[in-house]
Amino acid sequence: MQHLLIIGKVWPEPASSAAGSRIMQLIGLFLEQGWKLSFASASTESDLAAPLNEGIAKYRVQINDAAFDELLKTIDPTIVLFDRFTTEEQFGWRVAEHCPSAVRVLDTIDLHCLRNARRDALKAGRDFKNSDLLRSETAKREIASIYRCDLSLVVSPVEMELLKTVFCVPEQLLYYLPLFYDVPTKEQTADWPRFSERQHFLSIGNFLHEPNWDAVLYLKNAVWPLIRKQLSKAEVHVYGAYATRKVHALHTPKEGFLIKGRAGNAHTVMTSARVCIAPLRFGAGIKGKLLDAMLCGTPTVTTAIGAEGMHSELPWSGKIANTPEEFAAASVALYNNEAEWQNALQNGLTILRTIFSKQTCVAPFTEALAQIQARLEEHRLQNFVGNMLGSQGYAATRYMSLWIEAKNRV
């Protein structure tokens, strides 16, 4: 039986972030294929962590601990999936040493180096350039991790192109696998609340995620006052996990700016809103909140960064605007125009069917993975840079880890 070991930085929280949803999608995919699954993490399981299927073995592990080596030998996985490049840095050399025949897969979720470089450019008050990535220490680490793995999953076609052209990563090391869903049926869409049955705007996203927090501040200070001037009775309901005191300090009922905290059910609050707004100024990957909106029939207004890699040449499921004035005007227009709103809803369904359908995404991915398994030795032989980085990079990481391990025993 095929055995997948997932090594996670944290235990998956699908209600808190797109990253958590992504891991749960992959878990479901492999369970449907009849695979045996194990999940290991060095983090403490939070109250928001999803209960994993009873058939999934769970392991709490330690970083810089030889006990993990023994666990690997016992599990003897055929595939090991790292949920972030930092997880691969910590555990990848041990997997390579003790399970050399296991296919090593990295799920990038988004390119951290791209997100961070865009953030730094924004803070510096200048436009982001691809050359910023070539100066990035995060990029050096992240790309090295991609090279060391047998396959890296990339969620955005924009990031696929960036990896191939800016970093010259061979295409055989990359696989485009976006988030994927069962597209709502006609019967399900018929049950969605209509335009007249919905009210107010919604903003949603984990507050610990920097792009989300920046977007909320930008919405509060630059965008919402312009919307409120034109829609004096409208409210924006701001949802997200891990709302701290500084988040709740933004709660201003007299201005219609309401901090709601964590949503018990994101789809329930999304379905009741008329428009979802996401004024993201930096970030990477694809945005789970905007896909959730499409799955709920809720049109969205976002920025070019927000919609990046999510709709190809298809019309967006709402409007895309980049300045506060444009964003406010687009939000008000979509909120007031039922015909435009209904058209945006249909655009969202078209995007889901065309790009994010589970039926379309899953079969080619499992076939690609099987092909790598069948010719793993040849696949690795062609990846000279990865072999070189594995030899040199893992050596440094290995000896540092062993030193820390020895130090902890004293």
User: Do 160 and 60 fall into the same domain?
Assistant: yes
pLDDT at residue number 47: 85
pLDDT at residue number 226: 98
User: Do 157 and 98 fall into the same domain?
Assistant: yes
Partners of residue 79 on adjacent β-strands:
4, 103
In the sheet with 236-239, reading across from the earlier edge strand, the strands are 257-261, 236-239, 201-204, 275-278, 300-302, 318-320
pLDDT in tens, the chain (410 residues): 899 999 999 999 988 888 999 999 999 999 999 999 999 999 999 888 988 887 899 999 999 889 999 999 999 999 999 999 999 999 999 999 999 999 999 999 999 999 999 999 999 999 999 999 999 999 999 999 999 999 999 999 999 999 999 999 999 999 999 999 999 999 999 999 999 999 999 999 999 999 999 999 999 999 999 999 999 999 999 999 999 999 999 999 999 999 999 998 999 999 999 999 999 999 999 999 999 999 999 999 999 999 999 999 999 999 999 999 999 999 999 999 999 999 999 999 999 999 999 999 999 999 999 999 999 999 999 999 999 888 765 566 666 666 666 667 66
User: Do 316 and 398 fall into the same domain?
Assistant: no
What b/e sequence results for 116-127 when a residue is b if at least 16 CB atoms lie within 10 Å of its CB, and e otherwise?
bbbbeebeeeee
Query: How crowded is the C-beta side of 40, counted as CA atoms within 13 Å?
Result: 23
Where does a domain end: 355, 379, 395? 355
User: Do 13 and 126 fall into the same domain?
Assistant: yes
Query: How crowded is the C-beta side of 126, counted as CA atoms within 13 Å?
Result: 8
User: Do 228 and 271 fall into the same domain?
Assistant: yes
Reading the block at residue 395, the tokens are 């050596």
Query: Which helix (H) or strand (E) segment is 319 a member of?
Result: strand 318-320
C-beta of residue 102 within 8 angstroms of C-beta of residue 373: no
User: Do 298 and 403 fall into the same domain?
Assistant: no
User: Do 389 and 248 fall into the same domain?
Assistant: no
User: Do 255 and 281 fall into the same domain?
Assistant: yes
pLDDT at residue number 326: 98
Where does a domain end: 355, 373, 396? 355
Task: Indicate the number of domains in the chain.
Answer: 2
User: Do 351 and 365 fall into the same domain?
Assistant: no
CATH of the domain at 306: 3.40.50.2000
User: Do 135 and 206 fall into the same domain?
Assistant: no
User: Do 85 and 61 fall into the same domain?
Assistant: yes
Degrees to nearest 5, angle at CA 84 with 83 and 90 = 100
User: Do 175 and 295 fall into the same domain?
Assistant: no
pLDDT at residue number 393: 55
Cα torsion 160, 161, 166, 167 to 10°: value is 30
Where does a domain end: 355, 381, 396? 355
Domain around 372: 3-180+358-409
